[in-house]
Chains A and B, each alone.
Chain A
Amino acid sequence: MALSLSGESIAFFVLSMMAIGGGIMMINSTRVVHMVLALAFSLLSIAGIYVLLHAEFLAVVQVLIYTGAISILMLFGIMLTKHKVDEEDGWSGRLGHSLLSFLGVGALFAIVMGVIYRTPFAGKVAATKSFTVEALGKSVFKQYVIPFELTSILLLVALVGAVILAKKEADS
């Protein structure tokens, strides 16, 4: 596969490096605030990739919800809770464990990449013009209305769970 150096591929390259870099930064930083910022950075880069794929609506939603709402929520969470920053050296695992996890992740990566490279993808580009917000809304509220409604119950359950697990007992 010859890599044509168009503006689009350069943009894709930069954005994906930013997304992966943000992920790595998030894992490696020791301060919670840095983690949140790295995560927001990574999610913003993914929004850029969506734009490249002509999924503008998804990109806007990504910025609005993930980069905006979720990051702000996390920052509020950090602000409102006690967060004694662990400045100690975070790396306390045994060498054997990290070696094993590295091997496992490496094997998974090798297998997935191997499979992707062996698969002959057809060169056709899907007609992304027909994937409008209107079509999205129709499929969510018509065909997929049952899972959609179930998701609302799911969110309610998650909320209830967060409240009962996190609240301090007022009993005496």
Chain B
Amino acid sequence: MNTLIDYDWTVMAPELTIVVMAAFLSVIDLFLHPNKDRRLFMWPTLIGIVGAMCFVGMSWGKPAYQILADTYRVDDFALAFKMIMLIGTAFITVMSYGAFRKEKGFAEGEYYYLLLTALLGGMVMASSGDLITLFVGLELLSISTYILVGIRKRSVMTNEAAWKNVVLGGVASGFILYGMSFLYGLTGSTNLFTVRDRLGEALTSGYDLYAWLALFLIVFGFGFKVAAAPFHMWVPDVYQGAPTPITAFLAAISKTAAIALILRMFLIGFIPLFQGGRGTVLDEKTGGRVLLILAGLSMIVGTVIALRQQDAKRLLSYSSIAQAGVILVPLASWGPFLFPSTLYYLTGYLFSTVGAFSVLMLIERESRDSHLSSFAGLSRRSPFTALAMTLFLLSLAGIPVTAGFFGKFYILANAVVTGSPEHWAMYLIAGIMLVTTVASYFYYFAIIRMMYFRASQVEEKLRIPVGAMIVISVAAVATLGLGLMPQLVVDILGNVDWGASLAPVK
């Protein structure tokens, strides 16, 4: 066995940068006078994230590398997910600049370094081939977000959100851990590749139900984490009660990390269950069907309930449940473009979601609530913001020349051309996706109608802080750019050898 010094630890540079910056900020926070303004913490946070981005970009395209029996592995799959999470957190850092200025007793120093540790958890989840590291990463992300959700501790709604998040998030982690313990008990290893090999043997010797139990328990917990129906009950309350930048973090980055976790676990560890075909109680199609049900149900439930929402934040929460369903379609349908279509959609979804939530944050601060009517007359109060918001909503709805349109198209194409024997299921899920997309136009257009065709009670201009302005502009440009020139990203994603991410490092 190699000793610690034999490994090339520089591959961990992105994570180490984030850790160092978080530690640095916590020490500075300790020595800074309590009454000092901690808004400027945004800069070190941003520098750390940008530094990590550079390291991620530098290792892109290199052969996969692993440290200490896959407890940490870096491959293009991990790097792509890390890049999405880093971009998302950078946006959230910038939009938080000055967002909490008026709040007394707000732990702004802690806010920034907890964002970094949450990001660290997500990055670890993306780049590990070992159950223990995956779980520790998941918990690091979860616990940091539990605190961030409840950080505005004087608001009753925030307290309710934090409480629900802790309890249900804890239950979900418990289910995932319980499933992992079955997997470990069956295979005697936490390494996903060893698990894969031994699970293949175990299936033929009568332990198949045991393995399925592990899979179902993990899907259960994962459903909570990714906010998919029927495990979505906590989502609207938590998203509504959390500070809006954190809501955006939950909707974009936590979801991305959970998808990374489940892709790794299903496509490496659980793969024998999807190949199967040995006449056991549950056949090899079951896993795919479970995911299809999860995806279909999320799209239907999210869309139907969103239609009746009068509160913009709740509306966007339900829409994020529906989006979770869409993101799950490639994994459920497999197909040739599983990785590129998932990653492309996540990228587009990131820009539109973060953009939409930052506009919502401005509206919320101005009118003290997030009711739909607060958007009335936004086109006159701030034409630029209204235009950007329209773009984000069109992208979330999947209307042409936005990132969301091409993302949905890519996923749809992937589902329809898949070589799965169950063509009817693929057409069914494609049908559900189309119908819910069309239905979603109603609620997305409700906001657009408010912005353009309703007169506002206040006529004064909307004040836009610099940070939010930058986030909204960059996100709008990216949403439009990805829609107009999708080949830019698709080419990068298409040239990657995704199979190498699912194989042990030689």
Judged by DSSP, the binding face of A is helix
Q: Considering the complex, give the chain B residue whose CB is closest to the CB of A155.
A: B143
CA distance A8 to B26 in the complex (A): 52
Interface residue ranges, A against B (CB under 8 Å): 111-112, 115-116, 118-120, 142-147, 150-151, 153-154, 157-158, 160-161, 164-165, 169-171
Q: Take A150-B124, A157-B140, A170-B34 as given contacts and tell me if A143 and B210 are in contact as well, using a CB distance cutoff of 8 Å.
A: no
Residue of A nearest to B148 (CB): A161
- Give a binary string over B128-141; 1 marks a CB under 8 Å from any A CB, 0 the rest: 00101100110110
Count of chain B residues with Cβ under 8 Å from any Cβ of A? 42
Shortest CB-to-CB span from B147 to chain A, Å, is 4
A142 with B136: CB separation less than 8 A: no
Beyond the given A150-B133, A161-B143, could you list 9 further A-B residue pairs with CB under 8 A, ordered by the A residue number? A112-B213, A119-B209, A143-B68, A146-B68, A146-B133, A147-B136, A150-B124, A154-B136, A169-B104
Determine the distance from Cα of A144 to Cα of B68 in the docked complex, in whole angstroms.
Answer: 7
Do the beta carbons of A165 and B150 come within 8 Å of each other? yes
A116 to B131, CA, bound (A): 22
Which residues of chain B are within 8 angstroms of A144 by Cβ–Cβ distance? 68, 71, 132-133
CB neighbours of A170 from chain B (8 A)? 34
Q: A147-B136, A154-B139 are in contact. Are A142 and B67 (CB under 8 A)?
A: no
Asked whether B57 is an interface residue with its Cβ less than 8 Å from the other chain, the reply is no
Pick the contact of A160: B110, B210, B212, B213 (CB < 8 A): B110
A-B interface contact total, Cβ < 8 Å: 86
Q: What residues of chain A lie closer than 8 Å to B133, measured between beta carbons?
A: 144, 146-147, 150
Chain B residues, Cβ within 8 Å of A158: 143
Q: Which of B107, B110, B120 contacts A153 (CB 8 A)?
A: B120
Could you mark each residue 106-128 of chain B with 1 if its beta carbon is under 8 Å from any beta carbon of chain A, else 0? 01001001100100100010000
- B405 at interface by CB-CB < 8 Å: no
* B153 lies within 8 A of chain A by Cβ: yes
Q: How far is the CA of A51 from the CA of B33 in the complex (A)?
A: 52
Nearest Cβ on chain A to B204's Cβ, whole angstroms: 12
Question: How far, in whole Å, are A119 and B147 apart by their CA atoms in the complex?
Answer: 41
0/1 per residue, B204-245, Cβ < 8 Å to A? 001101101100000000000000000000000000000000
Q: Are A142 and B4 in contact (CB-based, < 8 A)?
A: yes
Q: Is B83 an interface residue (CB 8 A)?
A: no
Q: In this assembly, does B444 line the interface, its C-beta being within 8 Å of a C-beta of chain A?
A: no
7 closest cross-chain pairs (CB), A and B: A161-B147, A169-B105, A164-B107, A147-B136, A147-B133, A150-B136, A115-B209
